[in-house]
Structure 1
Amino acid sequence: MPQVILGWLLFAALAAAPQRGEEIRLWPNGAPGSEGVTAAEVSKPSTNPKYNGWSSNFTVTHYPSIYVFLPPADKATGAAMIVAPGGGHTQLVIEKEGWEIADWLNANDIAAFVLKYRLAKAPGSTYTLPEHVYADAARAMRLVRSRAAEWKIDPARIGFGGFSAGGEVAGMIETKFDRGKPDADDPIDRYSSRPDFNVLIYPWYRPGANKPDDTPLFPVPTDAPPVFMVCADDDRSHVEPTVKFYLELEAKKIPAEMHIYAYGGHGFALRPTQKPAPVTGWPERLKEWFAERNISKP
């Protein structure tokens, strides 16, 4: 009889756990700014058998979501990272800069949540940058933190990471967050949107965007979380904003580590570059940074 009970409990636990890549909408009844939208999202299917039935990229998004990737329970460190793919806000390169990154994090015993955010620059889009995109990122932080106990995550080790345009999203959540709204009607809004760490890979950060001078879009607060950044020097449109953001962090004494590689171009993610380049070693540097800051320590 005890074996039967144990087997039933194991089955129940497995049944309750989210499936790899399970999608959870950030607002089940519709996101602010998307109320009443019933249009379908548009995506291209992946041709990788590993991601059979999944999308390789989205070109129209209306229903911001996270996709859940949890490491094996017996190996999980308790750390987690929300991953924002890039795509210039016209698309989401969700396979290369989402699924593959989530699998890498899981292989290093870190939970991952791939963020599908709304595309503010897609043709015909009614969404705005930063308003709707930032709202999606902040909501993702709150939602994951609200379910930390369920997913066996340390609520003090939930970070954010972004690639290219997703790095811009990471810059937004780095510099504009709150500690939660205790009186909010929605219980999820009572949780903090502040990431505990931030990872920006070849980010597009807009210091002075929509402003006549070089004033940051969102000034860096003194309690911003620590940051890890990577870019290639031959990625000219991205390396300068990366360095500027690093200097802003340094000015506010925010712990920051920046790696600028001689070449590697843009959009390398975890894939090999056209010619062998040291930039492909950035994941090892990130692992070292995680360990140094006790992020990946169980």
Structure 2
Amino acid sequence: MRTGVLNLAWLAALLWCAVAGAQPAHLLWPDGAPGSERRHGEAEKVVDTYVSNIHDPSLTVVPADPRHANGAAVVIAPGGGHRMLVWMNEGMVAARALNRVGVTAFVLKYRLARDPGSSYSIERDAVADMRRAVRWVRAHAEDFKIDPDRVGVMGFSAGGELATLVADHAGPALTGKVDAVDRYNARPDFQVLVYPGPLGVPATAASGAPPAFIVSGSNDTCCTPPSIALYQQLIAAGVSAELHLYADTGHAFNMGQRSERLSDAHWPDRLADWLADGGWLVPGGGKAGVPSPANAK
């Protein structure tokens, strides 16, 4: 039986779903997301542990145990090829793994550009949801007892594309109706990219990009080349980055529970090490020499 952060987090997530049921979702735009107002309130589609037909982007809060919470927060974007969300294995299990190192997690439901019949785009709508999520977490930092200067993003596959598009690219100027949440900075303080898709790799990584932890499998022909390219760009730009490539491993190993290899089954432990080394798990901490985004109050 596997030990460490992964196995305990997986079992905890299963128990949480069985006992506590679904956590309440916090809508990112209570009156409807920009461009989706006409479908505001439409039911999501849930098949097994996969979610689609998302028109009201939201965050599900998975708080760390107050006895161990350290004030760090991470917005998690599950993968699913922009057709669905792998809600359990790349959402709730990841959240519980982060909880075990004192991090409060916010699992994001974002609009899906490749859901059959979708009118959304990745760059316009899904990325807007991710930026709004980071802003929302900072705007509600006091409510959840988190540090607005230690807010990271974590994305799997398609969700990793959103994480890089928000972390490594300058955001567009806000247009249309702007509210109090929009006053907060959308650039995360750190990024965790789990076999991220190719869309998020910029032509030139921003020198002001936040520190990055990247993990992929050597047999993943889709997402390992962009993972390597992004790592090289970040290093060339002077950004702190760490890359883990696991031998004989393909795509979608989730938090390790879909792999029989001990090395990549325990990659969440390496993430915990990286978070600790970067100072993200202690109040007032953060990567030395890397300025944290200024947050409006």
Instruction: Give the alignment's TM-score, normalised by structure 1.
Output: 0.82
Aligned to 1:195: 188
Match of 1:204 among 193, 197, 206: 197
Aligned to 1:124: 117
Instruction: Determine whether 1:89 maps to 2:82.
Output: yes
Structure 1 residues 8-56: Cα deviation after superposition (integer angstroms, max 9, x where no partner)? xxxxxxxxxxx983210000000011012143221124xxxxxxxxxx1
Aligned to 2:36: 34
Structure 1 residues 16-27: aligned runs within 5 Å: 21-27=23-29
Structure 1 residues 209-254: Cα deviation after superposition (integer angstroms, max 9, x where no partner)? xxxxxxx36x422211000000010111111011111111112111
**How big is the shift at 1:59?**
2.3
Q: How far apart in 2 are the matches of 1:251 and 1:95? A: 35
Q: How far apart in 2 are the matches of 1:205 and 1:148? A: 32
Match of 1:267 among 243, 252, 256: 252
Alpha-carbon spacing, 1:239–1:28, altered in 2? closer, same or farther (3 Å): same
Alpha-carbon spacing, 1:207–1:290, altered in 2? closer, same or farther (3 Å): closer
Flag the structure with more relative contact order, 1 or 2, with Cα contacts below 8 A and sequence separation at least 6: 2
Which letter maps to 1:41?
A: E
Q: How far apart in 2 are the matches of 1:275 and 1:86? A: 21
Structure 1 residues 46-85: aligned runs within 5 Å: 56-85=49-78
Alpha-carbon spacing, 1:258–1:238, altered in 2? closer, same or farther (3 Å): same
Q: How far apart in 1 are the matches of 2:68 and 2:30? A: 31
Q: Is the 8 A contact 1:20 1:68 kept in 2?
A: no
Alpha-carbon spacing, 1:175–1:42, altered in 2? closer, same or farther (3 Å): same
Instruction: Determine whether 1:44 maps to 2:44.
Output: no
Structure 1 residues 140-289: aligned runs within 5 Å: 140-178=133-171, 185-206=178-199, 216=202, 219-289=204-274
Q: Is the 8 A contact 2:165 2:200 kept in 1?
A: no
- Secondary structure of the 2:199 match is coil
Rg larger in 1 or in 2? 1
Q: Is the 8 A contact 1:179 1:194 kept in 2?
A: no
**How big is the shift at 1:279?**
1.1
**How big is the shift at 1:276?**
2.4
Structure 1 residues 260-279: Cα deviation after superposition (integer angstroms, max 9, x where no partner)? 11122111112434532411
**How big is the shift at 1:155?**
0.7
- Secondary structure of the 2:208 match is coil
Q: How far apart in 2 are the matches of 1:109 and 1:243? A: 29
**How big is the shift at 1:179?**
11
Q: Is the 8 A contact 2:26 2:58 kept in 1?
A: yes
Aligned to 2:290: none
Q: How far apart in 2 are the matches of 1:274 and 1:286? A: 17
Indicate the percent of aligned positions where both proteins have the same amino acid. 40
Q: Is the 8 A contact 1:134 1:172 kept in 2?
A: yes
Q: Is the 8 A contact 2:53 2:115 kept in 1?
A: yes
Q: How far apart in 1 are the matches of 2:200 and 2:91? A: 25
Instruction: Determine whether 1:139 maps to 2:129.
Output: no
Which letter maps to 1:32?
A: P
Q: How far apart in 2 are the matches of 1:89 and 1:164? A: 9
Q: Is the 8 A contact 1:82 1:115 kept in 2?
A: yes
Q: How far apart in 2 are the matches of 1:168 and 1:284? A: 23
- Secondary structure of the 1:68 match is strand
- Secondary structure of the 1:132 match is helix
Which letter maps to 1:24?
A: H
Aligned length: 261
- Secondary structure of the 1:257 match is strand
Instruction: Give the alignment's TM-score, normalised by structure 2.
Output: 0.83
